[in-house]
Amino acid sequence: MTPIKIVILGANGQVGYELQRSLLPLGEVIALDRIQADLTQLEKLKQTLLDLKPDVIVNAAAYTAVDKAEEEHELAMLINGTAPGVIAEVAKQLNALLIHYSTDYVFDGTKKEPYTENDTPNPINVYGKTKLAGEEAIKKIDCDYLILRTTWVYAARGHNFLKTMLRLAEEKEELSIVADQYGAPTWARNIADVTAHILATAQKEQKNDKFISGLYHLCATGKTTWHGFASAIIEYAKQLESADIIKTKKVLPIVTDDYPLPAPRPKNSQMESSCLTARFGISNPEWDVAMKLCIDEVQEKQ
């Protein structure tokens, strides 16, 4: 396969950081952080991409402060809703492929079964509304695109639920965690590795004039609650060499109403990813398997 030029936006984020490693075998990778590619400076962003002339743009940049978005609606919409459309325009002009990440928060969480790509979005918070606007903006532009919705993302770096639980486990004997929201915790490294496979496949499809733009769900296999996730994190941490620093003895289940937040969360964030598997022949591992590998990495860095 001919080496390609790939530009990653959001290089310092959880997924963006992992993408730099996963995409490297596919060609020249140019990773741009918030300073180099500011999604609030649209004209400058557009010119930067036009100057680089990438074959692929991977947009891992986003406004992710879910609760703060309730107050910063315009900023969140600019970054999550408007900027993806501008990036899509550049992709069309350059005849480049755009890979963009979205979220389970485009759904309201009232469905009992896992959500499919055919289910109608109905976001219940500002963050979800802005991410849905980004999806729609990309679709309106006639460029080659792949939108990948993921859920409950965590990594060994950055701020996320897994790292927060490991920190709290060293400080508190008892934790109270929400137990009535369901989803599949998804490791950023798995997202990046699957993206690399998807990109390689997409390049072959484009070469053979068989590429079709589309939206897919990309998440770990299985399901749990935030309480189940927290319990699994702490139980595994207790099995490691650093077990003596774990103070938490109880992880108590609570309901969403017991822990009110500015932005409402969907009760059901499960997403069906069989369409991704059918087209690209790959899927993510069980959520708890990936979780253990991530915790191992966190421990190694300490």
Domains recognised in the chain with CATH numbers:
4-159+186-221+271-284 (3.40.50.720)
Cross-strand partners of 98: 57, 145
CB 225 within 8 A of CB 178: yes
pTM exceeds 0.85 for this model:
yes
Residue 154 — pLDDT band, cuts 50, 70, 90? very high
**For residue 24, is pLDDT > 60?**
yes
DSSP tag of 121? P
Of 202, 259, 210, residue with least CA distance to 230: 259
**For residue 2, is pLDDT > 90?**
no
Q: What is the pLDDT of residue 146?
A: 98
At a CB cut-off of 8 Å and minimum separation 6, what does 86 contact? 42, 45, 46
Residue 300 — pLDDT band, cuts 50, 70, 90? confident
Mean pLDDT within 95-114: 97
Which pair of tokens denotes residue 108?
A: 């309201």
Which pair of tokens denotes residue 182?
A: 């369901």
Q: Which residues are catalytic?
A: 127
Q: What is the pLDDT of residue 302?
A: 66
Mean pLDDT within 164-177: 95
Helices and strands (DSSP H and E) totals, the chain: 10, 12
CB 55 within 8 A of CB 96: yes
Task: Report the alpha-carbon distance of residue 178 to residue 201 in Å, rounded.
Answer: 39
